[in-house]
């Protein structure tokens, strides 16, 4: 097992975990894996057809019970994940260390995520100013998850591409999503929410070197962004 990642992505547990992240809390996930037994630690490639079916049927009842929404889609994704192809790409040559996954469930996780992001940026060799921008962006993304979705996940992916440090951040939740018209006002800077300033997402877009958002009402939100180190 890699030292920096809680679970190896090519195990049954890791493959399912990558799918369930953001939809089912880590604590619940752990109890699901315990129920699966030793088979959870087997590499997906080594899973027999009989075990694969057993794991999926065991999973189905848990997912229906615990997933906040979209249990059918989640089960479909789990089935794909266990079909052999790993859902999380294994550590590539360019990856500095394994990705760090930060569950965001409560107010206190915002501060923790901010600190984790900052130390990750500094460790990767981003400038002091850039690291403050990273921490600020993660703070905004984590706050959006807590405010609007209740829970979700932020993943930090440190990379070294030809010696250039690069930090990719993925914020994922299965909250209410954002409809296209509202999204437009958010990025035009004219949106005002009741609770925040409605500027969080637009601010993140301005801070980051790359920014993409996938969202729709009822489909959750995934923000993918990256900070590039400067020489």
Partner 1 sequence: MERVRESGAKGVVLDVSGVEIIDSYITRILNDIGRSVRFMGADCFLVGVRPAVAMTLVEMGVELDAVETALNLDLALARLERAV
Chain residues that interact with partner 1, rule: CB under 8 A: 114, 118, 128-129, 132-133, 135-136, 139-140, 143, 189, 196-197, 199-200, 202-203, 206-207
129 or 231, CB closer to partner 1? 129
Closest distance of CB 51 from partner 1, Å = 46
29 or 114, CB closer to partner 1? 114
Closest distance of CB 206 from partner 1, Å = 6
5 or 193, CB closer to partner 1? 193
Closest distance of CB 181 from partner 1, Å = 21
CB 122 within 8 A of CB 156: no
Closest distance of CB 128 from partner 1, Å = 6
DSSP per position, the chain: --SSSSS-TTBHHHHHHHHHTTTS-HHHHHHHHHHHGGGGGSBGGG--HHHHHHHHHHHHHHHHHH-SS-HHHHHHHHHHHTTSS-SSPPPPTTBSS--EEEEE-SHHHHHHHHHHHHHHHHHHT--HHHHHHHHHHHHHHHHHIIIIIS-EEEEEEEEEETTEEEEEEEEEE-S----HHHHHHHHHT----SSS-S-HHHHHHHHSSEEEEEE-TTS-EEEEEEEE---
114 or 172, CB closer to partner 1? 114
Phi, psi at residue 159, to the nearest 5°? -135, 155
Closest distance of CB 116 from partner 1, Å = 12
CB 24 within 8 A of CB 75: no
43 or 111, CB closer to partner 1? 111
139 or 221, CB closer to partner 1? 139
Closest distance of CB 198 from partner 1, Å = 9
């Amino acid at each position: 097992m890699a030292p920096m990642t809680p679970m190896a992505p090519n195990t049954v547990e890791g493959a399912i975990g990558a799918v369930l992240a953001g939809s089912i809390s880590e604590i619940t996930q752990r109890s699901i894996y315990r129920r699966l037994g030793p088979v959870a630690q087997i590499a997906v490639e080594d899973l027999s057809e009989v075990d694969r079916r057993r794991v999926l049927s065991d999973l189905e009842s848990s997912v229906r019970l615990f997933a906040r929404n979209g249990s059918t889609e989640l089960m479909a994704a789990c089935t794909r994940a266990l079909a052999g192809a790993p859902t999380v790409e294994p550590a590539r040559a360019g990856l500095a260390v394994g990705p760090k996954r930060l569950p965001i469930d409560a107010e206190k996780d915002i501060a923790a995520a901010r600190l984790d992001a900052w130390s990750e940026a500094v460790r990767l060799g981003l400038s002091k100013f850039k690291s403050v921008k990273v921490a600020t962006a993660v703070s905004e993304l984590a706050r959006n998850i807590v405010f609007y979705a209740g829970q979700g996940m932020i993943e930090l992916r440190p990379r070294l591409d030809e010696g250039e440090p690069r930090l990719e951040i993925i914020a994922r939740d299965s909250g209410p999503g954002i409809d296209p018209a509202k999204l437009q006002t958010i990025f035009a800077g004219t949106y005002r929410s009741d609770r925040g300033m409605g500027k969080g997402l637009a601010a993140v877009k301005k801070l980051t070197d790359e920014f993409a958002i996938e969202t729709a009402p009822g489909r959750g939100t995934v923000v993918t962004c990256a900070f590039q180190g400067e020489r």
